[in-house]
Amino acid sequence: MKHDNSNALFKRAEEYIPGGVNSPVRAFKSVGTAPVFAASAHGSHIVDEDGNSYLDYICSWGPLIFGHSPNYLLEGLTEAVSRGITYGLPTAAECEIAEIICHAYPGLDMVRMVNSGTEATMSAIRVARGYTGRNKIVKFEGCYHGHSDALLVSSGSGTLTYGVPTSPGVPAQVVADTLVCRYNDHENIREVFSACGDEIACIIVEPVAGNMGLVPGRPEFLRTLRELADAYGSVLIFDEVISGFRAAYGGAAELYGIRSDIACFGKIIGSGLPVGAYGGRRDIMACVSPSGPVYQAGTLSGNPLAMFLGIKSLRLLQNHPEIYAELENKGKKLQQGMEENIRELNLPYRVVRCGSLLTLFFCEGEVNCYDDVKRCDTALYGRYFRGMLEQGILLPPSQYECMFLSQAHSDEDIAETVEKQRIVLKELI
């Protein structure tokens, strides 16, 4: 495949955009190649600026559960644009999508629309602190909750692990109240709460972690978080920006049968347009301005175009639960095909899947936390990525991201992917 136009555009972008991209993973640095510049997409395929067509497993990092630009989803969008792209005033659409989300998600009474997943998690933590009157928060290594200062941390040393900034520009004092624990380790989190549970405002967690590759939470781990939050009066926040309306209609809360106090959403609730939301119990959300003293605002929050597509998407998922069974079957076929290739070639790698989310980890053994993920051979993943790209299969350009399946992916697409993966894996060994 030729990539002349994409390479030229990347050089042009580097002159005016930091790193040539508007989100770091798009630079393809961790896979050792220049990025693909998208020109168009439809269904399960994306076409780059050189005219190359790829079977797409990025799906814009999750929102496109129906695939690219399905006609039934876009119908009426032009008319919606003609009515106005933003008002700065409340709309009926905001009421409708709030009702849909609250009725869909277990334990949710009220929801506030925002513009991104980062804004949702940042706001949820502020509300939790305001509600409890406490400062300390707990997060887990390998879980990503956006780029707000208090959450850009890695773990230090010792049982009681205070956060260490992972980015210049984040003052140490900003993360001084962020405690970092080990994902899927219920004993570790019990030790931390035993030491300072009365000071902890909230626990924030991806119940299905999707930002260190796919690492689902263990049921006993998530139940422990619920028990500790109840015992110590802390707020349990589920970050469902990736898993919300994808792992199940009611997200991971439905999948595991465990309710959070606050949940954060993004991706699918805007069907590809910029969007986020956070919601929770009525007594907690009553703290949010203008009802309460915890301030949060946004000029474009509840944007009518995002609400239009979000409502259509959520109504489709609500009225057609068979979509989730279909996605489960597709995910299972892809997983089984990849695992057959691995067994046939006697390779030690591991495929992890949750519904329509999937990651091939280039490491041996179980993958339950960030320490496990760090064993992966990322250089080998880079070779694998480049090989699959040349075969016309577009994978996430990082070992630490998920593959996303959509309704548009056909059985033929999956069979093609499995066959081409076999070719590439044989070349790697």
Helix axes 304-319, 322-344, angle to 10 degrees: 80
Long-range contacts of 337-342 (CB under 8 A, 24+ apart): 337/414, 337/415, 337/417, 337/418, 337/421, 338/418, 338/421, 340/418, 341/418, 341/421, 341/422, 341/425, 342/425
pLDDT tens column, 115-163 = 999 999 999 999 999 999 999 999 999 999 998 888 888 744 333 344 5
Q: What is the mean pLDDT of residues 21-26?
A: 94
Instruction: Please say whether the beta carbons of 205 and 218 come within 8 A.
Output: no
Residue 94's pLDDT band, with cuts at 50, 70 and 90, is very high
176, pLDDT greater than 70: yes
166, pLDDT greater than 80: no
Amino acid 164: pLDDT = 63
Domain residue limits, the chain: 4-69+321-428, 74-319
Amino acid 144: pLDDT = 92
167, pLDDT greater than 90: no
Give catalytic status of residue 144 as yes or no.
yes
pLDDT tens column, 178-210 = 999 999 999 999 999 999 999 999 999 999 999
Amino acid 153: pLDDT = 80
3-state SS assignment for residue 82: helix
Compare 149 and 101 and report the one with higher pLDDT.
101
Measured in degrees and rounded to the nearest 5, phi and psi for residue 416 equal: -65, -40
Conformational region of residue 21, where left means phi above 0, alpha means psi within -120 to 50, and beta covers everything else? beta
Cα 17 to chain centroid distance, Å, stands at 24
C-beta neighbour count of 373 within 10 angstroms: 23
Cα 100 to chain centroid distance, Å, stands at 20
List of E strands, 127-271? 136-140, 153-154, 164-165, 178-181, 200-205, 208-209, 215-216, 235-239, 262-265
Mean model confidence pLDDT for the chain: 95
Rounded distance between C-alpha atoms, residue 398 and residue 148, angstroms: 22
Rounded distance between C-alpha atoms, residue 376 and residue 349, angstroms: 9
C-beta neighbour count of 65 within 10 angstroms: 24
Dig out the tokens for 287 from the structure.
């703290």
Rounded distance between C-alpha atoms, residue 267 and residue 116, angstroms: 8
Find the catalytic residue in 144, 256, 370, 400.
144
Assigned architecture for domain 4-69+321-428: Alpha-Beta Complex (3.90)
Half-sphere exposure of 96 (CA within 13 A, CB side): 14
Instruction: Please say whether the beta carbons of 355 and 214 come within 8 A.
Output: no
Q: What is the mean pLDDT of residues 360-377?
A: 96
92, pLDDT greater than 50: yes
pLDDT tens column, 54-90 = 999 999 999 999 999 999 999 999 999 999 999 999 9
Closest CA to 198 of 223, 164, 174, 229: 229
Rounded distance between C-alpha atoms, residue 23 and residue 299, angstroms: 22
Rounded distance between C-alpha atoms, residue 172 and residue 147, angstroms: 15
Query: Residue 321, exposed/middle/buried by CB under 10 A (0-12, 13-18, 19+)?
Result: exposed
Q: Tell how strand 153-154 and strand 357-361 pair up.
A: unpaired
Q: What is the mean pLDDT of residues 319-341?
A: 98
Give catalytic status of residue 48 as yes or no.
no
397, pLDDT greater than 90: yes
Q: Tell how strand 178-181 and strand 153-154 pair up.
A: unpaired
Amino acid 156: pLDDT = 41
Give catalytic status of residue 239 as yes or no.
yes
Find the catalytic residue in 56, 239, 261, 372.
239
Instruction: Quickly name the fold that domain 74-319 has.
Output: Aspartate Aminotransferase; domain 2 (3.40.640)
Amino acid 160: pLDDT = 38
Handedness of CA 195, 196, 198, 201 (dihedral sign): negative
Q: What is the mean pLDDT of residues 23-38?
A: 95
Amino acid 158: pLDDT = 36
Question: Is the omega angle on the peptide bond into residue 290 within 30 degrees of 0, that is, cis?
Answer: yes
- Residue type for position 424: V
Compare 172 and 261 and report the one with higher pLDDT.
261
Dig out the tokens for 291 from the structure.
């009802």
Q: Tell how strand 178-181 and strand 200-205 pair up.
A: unpaired
pLDDT tens column, 215-240 = 999 999 999 999 999 999 999 999 99
